Amino acid sequence: MSERITGHTELIGLMAYPIRHSSSPAMQNEAFAALGIDYAYLAFEIDENEIEDAVKAIRTLKMRGSNVSMPNKTLVGKYLDELSPASKLTGSVNTIVNDNGHLTGYVTDGIGFMSALKDNNIDPIGKKMTIVGAGGAATAVEIQAALDGVAEMSIFNIRDKFFPNGEETARKINEQTNCKATFYDLADTKKLKEEMDSSYIFVNGTGAGMKPLEDVSVVPDKSYFRPELIVVDVPYSPLCTKMRKMAKEVGCKTMNGLGMMLFQGSAAFELWTGKPMPIEHMKKVLNINYDD
């Protein structure tokens, strides 16, 4: 008889819609099994109309916690008892920890991004970053990079509904961290080239390059890249975006979004279990190569 799930097993959820495509359940359950931790991680299809009841269920079922993804990341905070400093600054939550009925919200996307850079020997501290994006993932990366000590940040976005959010993030960074942030319209390609030319690292923090925007690149062509520039994607499906293909052709060191995915999960794992995720084991099992 299988003893993997017992009467003592603690439940962790993932609450988002759509969510059936997610690799988080496989990743977290593999890590629990590898360390012999009696937790199980399950995905629940929960949309914005159900998230309040789902948080009540975390309390009622005495779950250990949950991950939260779109569309609930910016909505769930108001149902929790406490928010981490990064959650307050970004206005988003991707991890909930239940300590005997006291629910705390954290955002681990930015920590995951910075840890993945470190694991790949990329060190942007004290240097300049140019980043495209004003949505949930990019905002978390921008705030964490500024909190960690990136010296200067140029943020670009297209003029869509996220545009004001990018302006707001630059304002918060300037007010609340030592990083100097400036926000630009991505349509200003002359400025984009100038800012990329003076940066140590360039980040695509948008959905461009990921399904259904596989044919979209936030950088118009490969003349924008120089071999010394480090080029990082937040999206990871398909693994290599059109933008990173161009950067590779120029000879840039590049990194896909899998590292961020692994390390945001690892930070959440540690919040629930108090133990570090076995990273090298996970990289092998998940077949993670940063440059793919």
Nearest alpha-carbon partner for 279 in 271, 291, 159, 267: 267
- Cβ 208 to ligand NAD, closest distance in Å? 4
Cβ closer to ligand NAD: 13 or 257?
A: 257
Per CB under 6 A, 210 contacts ligand NAD: yes
Does 158 help bind ligand NAD (rule: CB under 6 A)?
yes
- Choose among 71, 68, 47, 73: nearest CA to 58: 68
Binding to ligand NAD, residues 34-73 (CB under 6 A): 70
Which amino acid type is present at position 244? R
Catalytic-labelled residue, pool 56, 62, 73, 180? 73
Per-residue x/- track, 98-117, ligand NAD (CB under 6 A):
-----------x--x-----
Work out how close the CB of 150 gets to ligand NAD at its nearest, in angstroms, rounded to a whole number. 18
Least distance (Å) between residue 219 CB and ligand NAD: 10
Annotated catalytic residue 180: no
Q: Is 157 one of the binding residues for ligand NAD (CB under 6 A)? A: yes
Q: Is 213 in the site for ligand NAD (CB under 6 A)?
A: yes
Q: 151 or 216, CB closer to ligand NAD?
A: 216
Residue nearer to ligand NAD on the CB measure, 66 or 264: 264
Cβ closest to ligand NAD, residue 59 vs residue 191? 191
91/133 with CB nearer ligand NAD: 133
From 172, 164, 114, 106, select the one nearest 135 (Cα to Cα): 164
Binding of residue 17 to ligand NAD (CB under 6 A): no
d(CA 119, CA 206): 22
Give the residue ranges of DSSP H helices in 80-135. Answer: 85-90, 109-119
Does 218 contact ligand NAD by CB under 6 A? yes
Query: Should residue 137 be labelled a site residue for ligand NAD when binding is judged by CB under 6 A?
Result: yes
Using CA atoms of 69, 73, 76, 77 in order, give the dihedral in degrees to the nearest 10. 140
Residue among 44, 148, 162, 194 that touches ligand NAD (CB under 6 A): 162
Site residues for ligand NAD, 235-264, by CB under 6 A, read: 235-236, 257, 260-261, 264
Cβ-in-10-Å burial (0-12, 13-18, 19+) of 185 comes to middle
161 burial (CB, 10 Å; 0-12 / 13-18 / 19+) is exposed
78 DSSP assignment: G
Q: Which residue has the tokens 């990743």?
A: 27
The residue within the footprint of ligand NAD, chosen from 206, 241, 266, 273 (CB under 6 A), is: 206
Contacts of 164 (CB under 8 A, 6+ apart): none
Which one of residues 11, 75, 151, 216 is an interface residue with ligand NAD (CB under 6 A)?
Answer: 216
Element (DSSP H or E) covering residue 17? none
Which has the closest alpha carbon to 117: 92, 136, 145?
145
Which residues are catalytically annotated?
73
